[in-house]
Amino acid sequence: MGFRATNYTVAMLLLMAFTVGMMIVRSRKPLENNWPMLYWVLVLLISIRWSEETWDFRLVLAGAAAGFLLRFEFMNTLLTRFFQVVEFGTWICILYLSFQRITT
């Protein structure tokens, strides 16, 4: 168990830092913020580039769909909270799985 600095592991480490930043942005800023959309596009590109080494693509699509739906203001409070829980759960899974990948 250790950290080897390769292109993949450094990219995962930066993505983990960006994920924590997005969790802070999503919890403190309004839902109309564009940073989470940029984050989800980046995660989708990374999971396409390293498809066999990263997360399950269905997990990424579920989080991205929740993040993109939160950008629009047509939902009631209960539905908005549900999509926020889905997005935060996806972020926690991404952090956990990324930590497992870079330390093995």
Phi, psi for 95 (deg, rounded to 5): -65, -45
The reply to whether the predicted model has a pTM over 0.85 is: yes
Q: How far apart are CA 51 and CA 25, in angstroms?
A: 27
The pLDDT confidence band at residue 17, using thresholds 50, 70 and 90, is: very high
Q: What are the boundaries of each domain within the chain?
A: 7-103
Could you tell me which of 70, 101, 96 has the C-alpha nearest to residue 83? 70
43-98 residue pLDDT tens: 998 888 877 777 888 999 999 999 999 887 778 889 999 999 999 999 999 999 98
pLDDT tens by residue, 27-48: 998 888 889 899 999 999 888 8
Q: Are 40 and 65 in contact (CB under 8 A)?
A: no
What pLDDT does residue 1 have? 58
Instruction: Tell me how far apart the alpha carbons of residues 100 and 88 are, in angstroms, rounded to a whole number.
Output: 18
Please state the separation of Cα 92 from the chain's center in Å.
8
